[in-house]
Amino acid sequence: MPFGLLKYGLSSEYPAQQHFNPAADLKKHYDVVIIGAGGHGTGIAYHLAKYHGITNVAVLEKSYLGGGNTARNTAVIRSNYLTEEGVRFYRESVKLWQNLSNEFDYNVMLENRGQLTLAHSDAAVRSFRWRAEVNQHMGVRSELVDRQQIAELVPNLRMSEESRFPIMAGLWHADGATARHDAVVWGYARGACQRGVELHQLTEVQDVEITAGRVTAVLTNRGRVGCGAVVQAVAGASSVVANMAGIKLPIHSYPLQAMVTQPYKPLLTPHVSSPHVHVYVHQTSRGEFVIGGGSDPSPLYNTRATLEQRESLSAAALELFPFLAQARLLRQWAGTTDMTPDYSPIMGLSPVENYYLDAGWGTWGFKATPICGVSMAELVATQKVPDIIAPFALERFYRFEQINEAGATAASH
Amino acid sequence: MDPSISPTQTSRRSSLYRRHSQLNAEFHSFGETIAVHHYGSDETTQAQNLGLADLSTLPRVGFKGAGALAWAEQCGVHFPQQPNWASKQPDGTLVARLSSSELLMIGDYSGHSPLIDRLAAADRPERVYPLPRADSHSWLALCGSHAPDTLAKVCAVDLRPQHFENGRIAQTSLAKINAIILRSDIGNLTNYAIFSDSSSVEYLWDSLLDAMAEHLGSPVGLQALIDNR
Amino acid sequence: MKILTCPLNGPRNMSEFTYGGEYHPTPDHADASAREWAEHVFFHHNTAGVVTEWWCHNASSYWFLAERNTLTDEVLRTFDCDQLYNQRIDFSAVTTPETRK
């Protein structure tokens, strides 16, 4: 059997699949420049090219494809949010996820595992009841479950009433899922490049040229690139890039750390998260336990890992799953979360006429990838804000109309 | 003193009184309050090795604000020049200076502080705000030759006597909760007064007793501290 | 653990402190517009580099200012906020066209 695989690998009849065009010279002008080649940036390019016929598009990436927060998030897909606007938005995204592999003929390894959020206080139970009501009203599968149901859903969860924060109830979200994050960005990038979009890696936007309230070009380390419109999709650097266009955002950027254990046999099916003990745990299809928690306590543009966070994440994970005490950690890493005051994204128009924002992705960016591709591409192509993203406009902070999702995070930040 | 006194006889109770009752504590009245007199026998010696006492019912009060120190001075209070030091007043009350605008006044073990009574009744000018420290904060006393070793297990600040003089204060994290730690020796007995949020004192009490176990520490009544003076 | 030097309490473990946001001057409360207030409350420079920010030492509830590099997490200095705030500001209710809306 190993020989068959070797033969396949070396055979010229099955060459390695080329995902996207090799970097060509930058053109002098593009109709649309997208800053950032993560899931969002490539998703927007894909939809512009495939559904709006806009193919003179460059995706500029200062590092490499999908190397930012697309690669660093913990791949949780869910829609059990708290506000009507939030639930509607993430619900559409979860629907798109279901068909994503077919959409671009690339396996994103979607697994519908379900997600369980734990309540350890009366206040949390009340807020779960509220979320379940809102979710069901909006057609999202979400229900309050009791201790016995929790024990059945996750047999190896510690249900002791003697623990520091005993589990009182849970919010079960059958629509919760996970996917292979790299595959998402590869699928979008391939589909976009096949339709003429150019992906330029190691191409850093260093300034934005604005004339009479309109973007005319971006200045990169490879020279000036004229453009008809710009979309910034740079989670983790939203403020820094927006600042180049003279736009101030309501964002603080915090590191968020996660870690994985070495692989084990399948033991845990759903995602389990506890906002109270600040941890979420799930087991990947490879068998590794992914352990994530809240953002770091203070803002930082640095993806270093800290011992303190390893200690507190481990303590919290053991509170729920004592058997993990035997597990060895394989690696620990961080992404940068652009936290907004209301824990909702900032999407749509900006004070600069043809400069579009896809920012403020905090800890909710991965799950929103497909809907962002659809809605941001529609905005750029039609210059009309789609209803589904209208509530997330930057202007909402001036109108005091925040979309408060602080109560719907998987771990408190 | 009436040996049959109950800890619930007055409205001012320690959050720990049920724990004391479980340990067969005998409660006595001290001044205007009720506190544990003793649990077992020979606590004077126990306190010299390692003891933990709950003094939460004894008087204390705080004053804060831009005008607090000037007002206290006018009222005849003597406080240290530097923050995070405490000094003793003629009536036995200890005055801890917590910052450039905050004082904490702690009565002695008699259960009565003339200074606190006087300041509580006095008119306060603007920008002097009282802090009900007797309600918001519990008061534990950790004493004995092994007290520094015990604190080293649960606190990152070096509180050993050679580095932390009598009268000094550390506002820091103790067993992961916020605390004001004041070294206030009793005669030759090393003693730390610990003030922390009343709502978590049961946790702190249990954590300290757990940390004390290896040095054979145990709870002691207030009388053991008085007898060591 | 990382150590932060509190101007009141001296060097302490980072875990004893709470981050309190960027330092920026408060708008004139007598005639600032709702838009200015929104900007003051919600918007941040979020600079990648040296910033001045609020920190609180939890155990003493003491607020102070720090200059910190948000690329390296290096703290350049910490100082008492009395250097910037030395008088009391009294707020009185103000009715502007925007607040009436």
Token representation of residue A242: 């927006």
Tens of each residue's pLDDT in chain A, 413 residues: 578 878 877 777 776 667 777 668 999 999 999 999 999 999 999 999 999 999 999 999 999 999 999 999 999 999 999 999 999 999 999 999 999 999 999 999 999 999 999 999 999 999 999 999 999 999 999 999 999 999 999 999 999 999 889 999 999 999 999 999 999 999 999 999 999 999 999 999 999 999 999 999 999 999 999 999 999 999 999 999 999 999 999 999 999 999 999 999 999 999 999 999 999 999 999 999 999 998 999 999 999 999 999 999 999 999 999 999 999 999 999 999 999 999 999 999 999 999 999 999 999 999 999 999 999 999 999 999 999 999 999 999 999 999 999 888 776 66
Confidence band for C101, pLDDT divided at 50, 70 and 90: very low
Task: Provide the pLDDT for residue C86.
Answer: 73
Q: Are residues A228 and A376 in the same domain?
A: yes
Same-domain pairing of A135 and A211 = no
Q: Which residue of A has its CA nearest to C18?
A: A297
Min Cα separation A361/chain C (Å): 15
Residue B108 clears pLDDT 70, i.e. is over it = yes
Is B199 inside any structural domain? yes
Residues B102-131, mean pLDDT to the nearest whole number: 95
Strands B102-106 and B94-99: antiparallel
- Shortest CA gap C90–chain B (Å): 12
**pLDDT at residue A9, rounded to an integer:** 76
The answer, for C83 touching chain B at a CB cutoff of 8 Å, is no
Last residue within a domain, chosen from B112, B134, B156: B134
CA distance A120 to A126: 11
Q: Is A206 on the interface with C (CB under 8 A)?
A: no
Q: Do A297 and C19 touch (CB under 8 A)?
A: yes
A192 shares a domain with A136: no
Alpha-carbon distance of A55 to C29, in angstroms, equals: 50
Q: Is C79 on the interface with A (CB under 8 A)?
A: no
The pLDDT, as a whole number, for residue A24 is: 80
Number of structural domains found in chain A: 2
CB–CB contacts below 8 A, B to C: 34
Query: What pLDDT is attached to residue A261?
Result: 97
Indicate if B143 and B125 belong to the same structural domain. Answer: no
Which amino acid does the sequence have at B59?
Answer: P
In one letter, which amino acid is C6?
C
pLDDT reported for residue A412: 66
Please list, in sequence order, all residues whose beta carbon lies within 8 angstroms of the beta carbon of residue A399, skipping any fewer than 6 positions away.
Answer: none
What is the extent of the structural domain holding B216?
39-58+137-220
CATH number for the domain spanning A391: value is: 3.50.50.60
**For residue B104, what is the domain's CATH number?**
3.30.70
Residue A252 near residue A336 (C-beta atoms within 8 A): no
Whether C18 contacts chain A with CB within 8 A: yes
Residues A230 and A331 in one domain: no
CB contact, 8 Å: A246 with chain C? no
What is the structure's pLDDT at A12?
75
* Closest-CA residue to A108 (of A367, A331, A409): A367
The residue from A339, A366, A400 where one domain ends is A339
Find the mean pLDDT for residues B36-43: 94
Of A408, B122, A307, B119, give the one whose Cα is nearest residue C15: A307
d(CA A293, CA A297): 12
Residue B156 to residue C57, Cβ atoms within 8 A: no
Residue pair A317/A291 in contact (Cβ under 8 Å)? The answer is yes
Claim to verify: residue A350 and residue A227 sit in the same structural domain? yes
Nearest CB among C21, C43, C48 relative to A248 is that of C43
Domain span including residue A391: 21-73+182-250+342-408
Asked if B158 and B164 count as a contact pair (C-beta separation under 8 A), the reply is yes
| Whether residue A350 sits in one domain with residue A380 | yes
CB contact under 8 A, A308 and C15: yes
Looking at A339, A354, A379, the residue that finishes a domain is A339
Q: Tell me, what's the pLDDT at C84?
A: 79
Residue among C14, C18, C45 whose CB faces A248 most closely: C45
Q: Mean pLDDT, to the nearest integer, of B80-102?
A: 96
ipTM of the complex: 0.89
Q: Is A302 on the interface with C (CB under 8 A)?
A: yes
Residues 67-106 of B with CB under 8 A from C: 83-84, 98-100
Examine the pLDDT at B120 and tell me if it is beyond 80: yes
In terms of domains, do A163 and A260 share one? yes
C28 against A120, higher pLDDT: A120
**All structural domains of chain C:** 3-100 (3.30.2270.10)
Pairing between strand B51-54 and B218-219? parallel
* pLDDT tens digit sequence for C66-100: 999 999 999 999 999 887 777 777 777 655 555 54
Chain A: closest CA distance from residue C19 (Å): 6
Residue A265 lies in a domain: yes
Q: Check residue B1 and give its pLDDT.
A: 47
Structural domain tally of chain B? Answer: 2
Task: Confirm whether B163 is domain-assigned.
Answer: yes
Q: Which of A239, A307, A308 sits opposite C46 (nearest CB)?
A: A239
To the nearest whole angstrom, how far is the Cα of A398 from the nearest Cα of chain C?
Answer: 5
Listed residues A339, A373, A394: the one ending a domain: A339
Distance CA A413, CA A256 (A): 9
